[in-house]
Amino acid sequence: MDKDRIIQELNFKAVRSSGAGGQHVNKVATKIELSFVVQNSNGLTQQEKNRILLKLGNRLTKEHVLLLQCDESRSQHKNKELVIKRLLELLENAIKIPKKRRKTRPKRSAIEKRIASKKRNAQKKANRAKPSWD
């Protein structure tokens, strides 16, 4: 994954942010909408593209475009940085191949300790019973 090339392929659009903010929010376009076309990217290998399409399929449009938006800050530049950072993290997590789980067994000493503990508890409860007069 070539981050610099991916950043060059991004499309940005500045939009008016919603919510509270008074006169400022009505005048200034600080919300950033980012679009990234996964299929046309030269910064990803074909294997990485397939993995992203599989993992992020529910977040992509029919044309395989990933859309993200950010309006956390009142600064357009800060929102642009945040949305780029969020996109790169999303792509890295989608590409990452999880380690295979190896089956493990408990050690013999752990098994013996557990059985000994069970026997102690059983003996403790057996001693609580009323004695028989037979």
Domain boundaries, the chain: 3-95
**Taking 80 as the threshold, does the pLDDT of residue 64 lie above it?**
yes
Task: Check residue 2 and give its pLDDT.
Answer: 85
Contacts of 15 (CB under 8 A, 6+ apart): 29, 31, 32, 33, 69
Confidence of residue 17 (pLDDT cuts 50, 70, 90): confident
Task: Check residue 110 and give its pLDDT.
Answer: 97
What's the pLDDT tens digit per position in 70-118?
988 888 899 999 999 999 999 999 999 889 999 999 999 999 999 999 9
Calpha distance 100→119 (Å, rounded): 37
CATH of domain 3-95: 3.30.160.20
Check: pTM over 0.85? Answer yes or no.
no
